[in-house]
Amino acid sequence: MANELKSLSKGLRVYREIVFCSKPILAHSLCKKLNINKSTMSRILKTLKDEDYIEYCDKTNEITAKSIEDEEIKLSQIQVLIKKTKFLLEEIHDITGECAYLGILDNNKLLYINQIDKSSRKIKTRNNIGLSTSLHTSALGKTILAFGNYDIKKLKLNQYTVNTITDTKDLEITLKEVQEKAYAIDNSEYQDNMACVAVPLFNHENILIAALGISASKSRISLNKLHEIGKTLSKLVSSYKIVS
């Protein structure tokens, strides 16, 4: 506990220095000012960035604090989106009998912001709300890549299973297929023995705002069944335009 408190104290000192600095600051300047070694500072800054407290200026290594007001606006928008799509997630769950998810693009990753699972199974899908994952590994993520505005060459195609797409050209081909079919599939690409399917959700201006889908154990759902569900969900969700 003592070590954790010391780490927290250092992290708060670093964040306070960034917030009250009159201009963007470099990591090595923070090290000198606060007498913190390079490796510790690196860990602190990574945590602050991952938690969305700081950001790096374009094309530089200078650091600034993110606007708390902007974060509050983003959180409010997420809460509104969750409310407006709750009925859709419930309908998806009722149709498929599987855990339904809502995901958005956040800091170049997929962020799960809601899920619904009313099944009576003893073993249910874990609670993924708040979880961030790589975009190229999940059906939700691939849906966002296929229908959003994103440069896939910026992605790090890390491998998680033997089925994970790790080549940019292969990913480009997959995303074109997703655009043609209007749904995406994850065939155990992020987690072994799990399968997922997802579809895009657009606002009234036809701009992608989220992805919705389901996941299930491969023992319960076949690849053919995933494609059937994908077509069903595509027809269902395409009839809705969320007013943002």
What pLDDT score does 232 carry?
95
Structure pTM? 0.69
d(CA 41, CA 31): 7
70 has pLDDT over 70: no
Helices (H), the chain: 2-20, 27-34, 38-50, 68-96, 139-147, 168-181, 223-238
Mean pLDDT of the chain: 87
Q: Once rounded to an integer, what is the mean pLDDT over residues 234-240?
A: 90
Mean pLDDT in residue range 27-34: 90
Neighbouring CB atoms inside 10 A of 97's CB total 15
Burial of 7 (0-12, 13-18, 19+ CB in 10 A): middle
Q: What pLDDT, on a 0 to 100 scale, did the predictor assign at position 243?
A: 67
Query: Helix, strand, or coil here: 199?
Result: strand
Domains of the chain: 2-66 (1.10.10.10), 71-238 (3.30.450.40)
* Predicted local confidence at residue 234, as pLDDT: 94
pLDDT at 49 over 70: yes
Whether residue 154 has pLDDT greater than 90: no
What is the rounded distance in angstroms from the CA atom of residue 208 to the CA atom of residue 15? 34
pLDDT band at 236 (very low <50, low <70, confident <90, very high): very high
